[in-house]
Amino acid sequence: MFSIRRDKRRFSPFAISAVIGMVGMASNARTADYATAEPVPEPSFDNARFEAKQPKRKWSLIVGAGAAYEPEYEGSGDFKVSPVPFVVFTYGDWLEIDPRGISATIFQENNLSFSANIGWESGRDQDDHERLRGLGDIDFAVTVGAKASYEWGPVEFYATVDQTIDGSESLLGTFGLEYSAPVTEKLILGASAEAIVANDKHMQAYFGVNSSQSAASGLPEYKAKAGLKRVNVSASATYLLTENWLVRSEVGVGFLTGDAADSPIVEEKTQPSASIFVGYNF
């Protein structure tokens, strides 16, 4: 998956960030003093009062599309290429809407911030792969969560918690850090690492096999318990083609761990992925 982050390193497991500055020039005039007299100066004409002023825009909109190369399901040894459209809208420093959902910052003091999130869990279809047949579908569901983050220079440390409503009823916790900084006026490089822990319901839904599923699929019964399920690392590059157009690429790899890695559903514990996107910043 990808993350899209704002200017503060926003671009969120693939992310987009663009900084467009405008520089204005101003001139001033001075009057000369007379040596023999000191006349009372006439008030200068205030041109600024009559000039059209454009208020600073508080919102940003990026629209684009791309493609992702990733496993057919979490744990699969087979890969697929999928088209991925995206829209990223931000308003001020507190609201962001992107392919992951909606995030609203509710507290920000110095480098520390807290936000509330509404997102989604795509679920899983047993027809997505031959190995999943007989396991049943995991329904699409809404998620609610919160995030705490601390910025230290170009590095952000963060922790998130997300609860799925219905569907798999998953409870996920993510702990990670992300680095992002401009290398030139047009090139931004980034890197991230994170660990994901999951509750029993998530682990059993995605990696467990109960007795009925075992009979239908031919896989052995397996009880997956809560714990650390995955570690992800990634690197990204964003290039500003023009004032409005940008291109972003990301490569990453995930490592399934614990009961997730030992599941009979899993074909490969190492899960690489790559993506590329082109966007237009309005």
pLDDT tens per residue across span 215-224? 999 999 999 9
**39, part of any domain:** no
Query: Which backbone phi and psi does 61 adopt, to 5 degrees?
Result: -135, 125
**54, part of any domain:** no
Q: How much is the pLDDT for 21?
A: 36
CATH of the domain at 272: 2.40.160.40
**239, part of any domain:** yes
Q: How much is the pLDDT for 23?
A: 31
SS3 77: coil
As to burial, measured by CB atoms within 10 angstroms (0-12 exposed, 13-18 middle, 19+ buried), residue 49 is exposed
Asked whether the beta carbons of 232 and 194 are under 8 A apart, the reply is: yes
The amino acid sitting at 9 is R
**224, part of any domain:** yes
Mean pLDDT of the chain: 86
- 3-state SS, 29-63, equals CCCCCCCCCCCCCCCCCCHHHHCCCCCCCCEEEEE
Q: How much is the pLDDT for 130?
A: 96
For the CA atoms of 107, 109, 113, 115, the dihedral, rounded to the nearest 10 degrees, stands at: 10
d(CA 148, CA 85): 28
End-to-end distance of the chain based on CA atoms, in angstroms?
24
Helices (H) and strands (E) in the chain, counts: 3, 12
Average pLDDT over residues 150-168: 97
d(CA 220, CA 279): 46
Q: pLDDT tens across 142-152, in order?
A: 999 999 999 99
Q: What CA–CA distances, in Å, run from 72 to 75, 167, 262? A: 8, 20, 18
For the CA atoms of 195, 190, 159, 68, the dihedral, rounded to the nearest 10 degrees, stands at: -60
**200, part of any domain:** yes
Q: How much is the pLDDT for 195?
A: 98
Asked whether the beta carbons of 62 and 18 are under 8 A apart, the reply is: yes
The total number of residues written for the chain in this structure: 282
Q: How much is the pLDDT for 57?
A: 80
For the whole model, what pTM was predicted? Answer: 0.80
As to burial, measured by CB atoms within 10 angstroms (0-12 exposed, 13-18 middle, 19+ buried), residue 18 is buried
More confident residue, 136 or 93: 136
**259, part of any domain:** yes
More confident residue, 94 or 43: 94
What band does 98 get if pLDDT is binned at 50, 70 and 90? Answer: very high
Q: How much is the pLDDT for 171?
A: 98
Total of domains in the chain = 1
Q: pLDDT tens across 183-239, in order?
A: 999 999 999 999 999 999 999 999 999 999 999 999 999 999 999 999 999 999 999
**154, part of any domain:** yes
Alpha helices in the chain (DSSP H): 200-207, 211-217, 258-261
Q: How much is the pLDDT for 42?
A: 55
**266, part of any domain:** yes
Average pLDDT over residues 78-107: 95
Q: Which domain holds residue 171?
A: 60-281
